[in-house]
Amino acid sequence: MRKPGFFSCLRALILALTALQLSSCATNPVTGKSQLMLLSKDQEIALGQQSDPEIVAAFGRYDNEAIQQFINEKGQSMARVSHRPELKYEFKVLDSPVVNAFALPGGFVYFTRGILAHFNNEAEFAGVLGHEIGHITARHSAQQYSRQILAQAGLIAGAILSEDFRQYAGLAQTGIGLLFLKFGRDDESESDRLGVEYSTKIGYDAHQMADFFGTLDRLSKQSGGSIPTFLSTHPDPADRNKKVDRLASEWQQRATGSSYEVKRNSYLRMIDGLVYGEDPRQGYVEGNTFYHPELKFQYPVPPGWQVNNMSSQVQMAPEDGKALLLLTLSPEKSPSQAADAMLQQYQLTQLSRRNETVNGLQAVSVLAEQANEQTQQVVSVLAYLIEYEGRVYLLMGMAYKEDFNAYTARFRQTMEGFRKLTDPSKINVSPERIRIERIDKDTNLRAALQDAGMPSSRYEELAILNGMELNSPLSRGTLIKVVSK
Ligand SMILES: [Zn+2]
């Protein structure tokens, strides 16, 4: 959760989507073929523009002027050589440790700081940039959106209070499930092809893109296949590796005589100091307590529950997904105004409301429910709205009515455990950062990491981060990544 956070209403977005007039026939800009497009070009752009603030609210932006300028510059020059140069493109860095890049229809492209940390040169970045721009130019997401909107509009429209809150909580990094679509294998292959084409056209060596699939493959294996994002939407990294390598050679043969850039050192210098991994300043769990050093609060987390700390909210859920506990900030001034706003926003029927004092803080508790007429299900909600240091925090626990009693004690324990954080050892935390070091002798990666004081337990992780093997030879003067606070 980031300061100052806000929870923007998913419902509004989805309703806006469904209100769009659907269906038209259009020429695909990449293939030149006519195909059924459920979204027109204007609708595509509108969809991107509506969804972009949601993405930014969910992840937060990573603030680094040099990196932002770099991705803008490369993004814009690639857009100019793409199949849809007329679109207005925007390129953003998101403050997430997850390794991911994605695109929205109409020209929005996002890189997480996690993926930027894992690139080892400009050419790898350019390949992924081209891949994402490819999804936009070939109108993949537009087709996917169209299908998904039709299939899922009803399902997501209830946002967190639908029968779907299990899936909502299970989405590892975002509540905006609609925006993280699986593309078909054909779409992915086409985007890989376009990534090679576009990055070659702006002068980068697309063989490096193939190498980056190797990094993704290793990350996936290291995490036991549980990486939820770039990999799950982009299957078979090993297979793609070969294909992209071949395509890169073909494209380079087509364009005669020019040489292709990799730009390793300039890329590494640029990401020196990049935040790596979770940023504890935006909240972290230790033991069974959630601490927020910047907003200076803490509360107990139900033991064994998963915690998903996003920019605009914290989600907590048991493994079986039968309940969901959310912490967000209300834009309202007082707990009672915030309670009214919540009831209205989620179309809840209030059953009872009480004034409370939570560890010396003014609060209102509300018991409410929402009936879903389509599914005949009733979701019960317990909410505490707590005023602290000029902000109103909304803690919301929900479960189906028949399960609700089993969870109310847990909900209350968390809500009534919300308190001021004063322990300096919990407040004074800092994230790890990428540090670029220059090797001063001929050696190999393992020895270099040892010399840099890295713990051996992290050698494999750092080898992947560097896109190398531990026994990879390093010559004097080579730059490598290490991490430190
Ligand atoms: Zn893709």
Q: Which of 163, 148, 177, 180 is nearest to 322 (CA)?
A: 163
CA of 129 to the centre of ligand 1 (A): 10
For residue 293, count CB atoms less than 10 angstroms from its CB and return exposed for 0-12, middle for 13-18, buried for 19 or more: buried
What is the pLDDT averaged over residues 156-166?
34
Are the C-beta atoms of residues 1 and 327 closer than 8 Å to each other? yes
Every domain of the chain and the residues it spans:
10-275, 280-427, 439-484
Distance 331 CA to ligand 1 centre (A): 36
Chain centroid offset of residue 336 CA = 33
**Distance of CA 445 to CAs 21, 124, 206, 221, 439, Å?**
56, 20, 25, 20, 10
Task: List, for residues 360-382, the tens digit of each pLDDT value.
Answer: 999 999 999 988 777 788 889 99
- State yes or no: pLDDT of 227 exceeds 50: no
Whether pLDDT at 337 is above 50: yes
Contacts of 19 by beta carbon, 8 Å cutoff, 6+ apart: none
**Cβ atoms within 10 Å, residue 79:** 23
| CA dist., res. 31 & res. 28, Å (int) | 6
Please determine, for residue 15, whether its predicted confidence score (pLDDT) is greater than 50: no
What's the gap in Å between 188 CA and the centre of ligand 1?
A: 5
Give pLDDT, residue 134.
95
Ligand 1: centre distance to CA 104 (Å): 11
- Judge whether 388 and 372 are in contact, CB under 8 Å: no
CB contact set of 35 (below 8 Å; sequence gap of 6+): 25, 26, 27, 28, 143
CA of 85 to the centre of ligand 1 (A): 19
Minimum mean pLDDT among 20-24, 122-126, 310-314: which range? 20-24
CA of 198 to the centre of ligand 1 (A): 15
- Mean pLDDT, the chain, as a whole number? 83
Token pair belonging to 341: 């706003």
Reported pTM: 0.80
pLDDT tens digits for range 101-121: 888 888 999 999 999 999 999
CATH fold, domain 280-427, is: Protein Transport Mog1p; Chain A (3.40.1000)
Give the Å distances, CA to CA, from 327 to 18, 55, 309: 28, 18, 9
Ligand 1 geometric centre to CA of 282 (Å): 29
Taking a 5 Å cut-off on Cβ, the residues next to ion ligand 1 are 191, 234
Could you tell me the distance, in angstroms and rounded to a whole number, from the CA of residue 118 to the centre of ligand 1?
A: 17
Higher-pLDDT residue of 38 and 325 is: 325
Q: How far is CA 66 from the centre of its chain?
A: 21
Q: What confidence tens digit (pLDDT) does each residue in 444-464 have?
A: 999 999 999 999 999 999 999
Q: What is the pLDDT of residue 137?
A: 94
Report the amino acid identity of residue 213: F
Average pLDDT over residues 181-200: 85
User: How far is Cα 105 from Cα 93, in angstroms, rounded to an integer?
Assistant: 17
Distance 306 CA to ligand 1 centre (A): 28
